[in-house]
Amino acid sequence: MPTLTPGARHALSVTVDATMTPEHLRPIVVLSTPTMIGLMEEAATRSVQPLLEESDQTTVGTHVDVSHESAAREGEEVTVEAELVAVDGPRLTFSVMARVGSRIIGRGTHRRHVVDRARFSRK
Over residues 2-11, mean pLDDT: 89
Among 11-15, 25-29, 68-72, the least confident range: 25-29
Q: Which of 68, 76, 79, 113 is catalytic?
A: 68
Question: Domain coordinates of the chain in residue numbers?
Answer: 9-120
- The pLDDT confidence band at residue 87, using thresholds 50, 70 and 90, is very high
What pLDDT score does 54 carry?
75
Q: Does a cis peptide bond (omega within 30 degrees of 0) precede residue 34?
A: no
* φ, ψ dihedrals at 28, nearest 5°: -65, 140
Per-residue pLDDT band for 93 (boundaries 50, 70, 90) equals very high
Tell me the pLDDT of the chain averaged across its residues.
94
Chain-centre distance of CA 10, in angstroms? 9
Given a cut of 80, is residue 94 above it in pLDDT?
A: yes
0.85 exceeded by pTM: yes
pLDDT at residue number 123: 60
The stretch 38-64 carries a mean pLDDT of 94
Give yes or no: 110 in active site: no
41 given a catalytic annotation: yes
Q: Flag whether pLDDT at 103 surpasses 90.
A: yes
d(CA 85, CA 58) in angstroms, rounded, equals: 18
Whether 10 is a known active-site residue: answer no
CATH superfamily of 9-120: Hotdog Thioesterase (3.10.129.10)
**Which of these is catalytic: 10, 21, 41, 59?**
41
Cβ-proximal residues to 63 (8 Å cutoff; 6+ apart), any chain: 109, 110, 111
The DSSP element (H or E) to which 60 belongs, if any, is: strand 57-68
Which listed residue (5, 33, 54, 77) is catalytic? 33
pLDDT band at 2; cut points 50, 70, 90: low
44 within 8 A of 60, measured Cβ to Cβ: no
pLDDT tens sequence across 105-115: 999 999 999 99
